Structure formats: structure tokens, C-alpha cells
Amino acid sequence: MDAKSSGRDENAPLLILPGLLCDSRMFGETLAAFPKSAVVDGFYAGCERIEAMADYAIARMPDRCALLGHSMGARVALEVVRKAPHRVERLALVDTGVHAVKPGEREGRHRLRDLGRAQGMGALVGEWLPPMMGFAALRNEALMDALYAMAVAAGLPTFEAQIEALLHRPSVDALLPAIACPTVAMVGRQDQWSPVAQHEAITAAIPHAQLRIVEGAGHMMPAEAPQAFNYLVREWLTTSPAPDFRTLPDQVEGEV
């Protein structure tokens, strides 16, 4: 069976939407492993709503692609699916959640914002980043330094815009059951910010969605465990979607 008849688009490029304070540096090994891949960089140009971030991504994405969102980027990816489902060949939601704003979340995000305003971006990232990491990654000095530099480079205005977007995120409760493309939820076992249970909820809500867990990794799993992450990305990219029986012709009379 060829790619067209199996429902796969072998030529669909991979587009990655990064999360809070993240850019292409989170996905260096993935970009190297998949030549037809790209990251929507630029920290979403200061957009203060998830919907605006989705518009920013749509304006920069190919006509059709495999769409992967990490953390906040997965929430943006879901909004892209809502706005332009015909342009998403398959969907990966990585280290994320689909819940509404939780009690205390606003206060926690604003506390980090205020720390950044008072003491600078270095102090903000110094408190924000370590809880995002798995136990092994916390001891990887080179990785920690690289991710720290990436997040600091984003700057406080970017952080403020992104947390405003997250605190006003749209509901996806009605969207999730309507997603028809091959979907996978990936998560690091040690992700304390977006734990495994959140990804179990995602796969329960999206028809035929699959769950993949990377042992020993935290919230920054694509950078913490790039080989395992790339293995799962390749598996997702080559998975054939389930047939959509609504698009098949009626059974011919007498056909068994």
C-alpha cells in the first residue's frame, strides 16, 4: 500500500511549536534528525492570547504538516487544529495539559513575573527551570546552562505575554473529541508540571489517541532525552491513521 492509499502524507514536513520561554534550542537534535522539520521561533512575537499565537503559527506553516507542540506550544497546536484542521496531517502533544486555569495558578505565575520585575530574568529562570527538569537532567550542567541561557534570552516581556496567554487560554473540551488525525501524547515520567495523569486524560478525550511515556525525563523531555523523544516522533510520523468510514463509498449490493 502506498503512502496516499494508506492515508499517510510522507511529504508532510514536521512543524514544532515551542513552549513557555523556549525556542529552537530545545529541539536541536530533533531538527538534525528530521531534515524536513522546523520550529516556529520568535517566541510568538509577544502575542498575549493562545488564539493569536495560533494565527502567528498558521501564517508560517506549510499548507499541510505534522504538527508537534511542546508544553504551551501544544495548547497553541490545539488552537491551530481548531482554526485550520485541514492543514494538520497528524498531531503530537508533548508535556502539556488541556485543563482550565487551576486554583492558585494565576498567583504562582504572577509571583514569578514579579520576581523577574524585581530581580531580573536570571532570578526568574533560576526559580522556574529546576522544577521542570528530571532528576538526571538536574545534574547535567551543560544542559542546564543551555536551557537557562535560552529562557533568559526570551526576556521578561515575552514571559509576561506568554503567561497572560496561558491565563486566558480557551477551553478545548469540545474540540478534543472532534480531532480526527493521528494523535499522540508524549510525556516524561518525571514531569512534575504536566504529569502523566494529564496525558492519560488527553488520550481518553481524543479518539484513537496514543500515550507514550519516556522514563527518567521531566518536563523538558525533548532536550533531556532527545534519542528517546526522536524515536517516538519517528513512530508517530509513520503511523497510519484509522480509516474514516464517513468518507468511504457505500457498500456495493451483493458485495461481501
Nearest to 60 by CA among 72, 47, 71, 48: 47
Predicted local distance difference test score (pLDDT) of residue 12 = 85
The 8-class DSSP code of residue 174 comes to T
For residue 37, what are the contacts with CB-CB under 8 A and spacing of at least 6? 13, 14, 15, 16, 27, 30, 31
Q: What is the pLDDT of residue 227?
A: 97
pLDDT above 60 (res 246): no
What's the CA gap between 61 and 16, in Å, rounded?
A: 10
Q: Does the pLDDT of residue 7 top 90, yes or no?
A: no
Averaged pLDDT for residues 213-229: 98
Q: What is the mean pLDDT of the chain?
A: 91
Instruction: Say if residue 55's pLDDT is above 60.
Output: yes
- In this predicted structure, the answer to whether residue 255 has a pLDDT above a threshold of 80 is no
* Confidence tier at 256 by pLDDT (50, 70, 90): very low
Strand 183-188 relative to strand 210-214, pairing: parallel
Reported confidence tier of residue 240, pLDDT bands at 50, 70, 90: confident
Task: Please give the average per-residue pLDDT across 182-202, as a whole number.
Answer: 97
**Is the confidence at residue 9, as pLDDT, over 50?**
no
Cell output for 24: 529552537
Q: What structural domains and CATH numbers belong to the chain?
A: 3-102+163-241 (3.40.50.1820)
Average pLDDT on 80-103 reads 97
The CB-based long-range contact list for 114-119 (8 Å cut-off, 24+ gap) reads 116/156, 116/159, 117/156
Query: What is the pLDDT at residue 5?
Result: 36
Indicate whether 75 pLDDT > 70: yes
- The C-alpha atoms of residue 88 and residue 166 are separated, in whole angstroms, by 22
**Range scoring the smallest mean pLDDT among 4-13, 88-97, 205-214:** 4-13
Distance CA 185, CA 179 (A): 13
> Which pLDDT score is estimated for 241?
62
Query: Model pTM?
Result: 0.90
Residue 3, pLDDT above cutoff 90: no
Element (H, E) at 117: helix 105-119
Instruction: For the chain, give the percent of residues with pLDDT over 70.
Output: 89
**N- to C-terminal Cα separation, the chain:** 22
Asked if 82 contacts 98 with a C-beta cutoff of 8 angstroms, the reply is no
Sign of the alpha-carbon torsion through 74, 42, 52, 13: negative
pLDDT tops 70 at residue 91: yes
Residue 225 has pLDDT above 90, yes or no: yes
Alpha-carbon distances of 199 from 12, 96, 167, 219, 231, rounded to whole Å: 25, 7, 20, 12, 19
pLDDT band at 11 (very low <50, low <70, confident <90, very high): low
* pLDDT exceeds 70 at position 242: no
C-alpha pair distances (Å), 83 with each of 58, 76, 145, 248: 9, 11, 37, 25
pLDDT, average across residues 92-105 = 97
What is the length of the chain? 256
